[in-house]
């Protein structure tokens, strides 16, 4: 009976501390996750696209790969096909 109580106590402590320790060991987002790349057609409007083969890029002659932050700062908006 004492071994069962000891085992249950250890299990309870493990789950209790597991909930406390979890937020401390959460993965830190890396720099690549912060800089999302998008596609733009510099000579055709002001929309950005996550997918290079998006329907909105079908008539674009030249494509450019930029960060989403750069596109937004230059007044590009998300393509309405990708909303």
Region of 25 (left: φ > 0; alpha: ψ -120 to 50; beta: rest) is alpha
Say what the pLDDT of residue 29 is. 58
pLDDT digits (tens, 9 = 90+) for 22-72: 555 555 555 555 689 999 999 999 999 999 999 999 999 999 999 999 999
Say what the pLDDT of residue 12 is. 75
19 pLDDT exceeds 70? no
Whether 61 contacts 43, CB under 8 Å: yes
pTM: 0.59
Assigned token pair, 1 = 């009976």
Say what the pLDDT of residue 17 is. 66
Say what the pLDDT of residue 52 is. 93
Whether 37 contacts 65, CB under 8 Å: yes
Give the lowest-confidence range in 6-10, 41-45, 75-79: 6-10
């Amino acid at each position: 009976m004492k071994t069962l109580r000891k085992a249950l106590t250890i299990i309870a402590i493990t789950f209790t501390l597991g909930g406390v320790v979890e937020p401390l060991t959460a993965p830190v987002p890396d720099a690549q996750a912060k800089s999302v790349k998008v596609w733009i057609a510099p000579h055709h409007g002001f929309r950005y696209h996550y997918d290079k083969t998006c329907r909105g890029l079908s008539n674009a002659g030249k494509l450019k790969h930029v960060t989403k932050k750069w596109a937004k700062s230059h007044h590009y908006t998300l393509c309405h096909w990708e909303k």
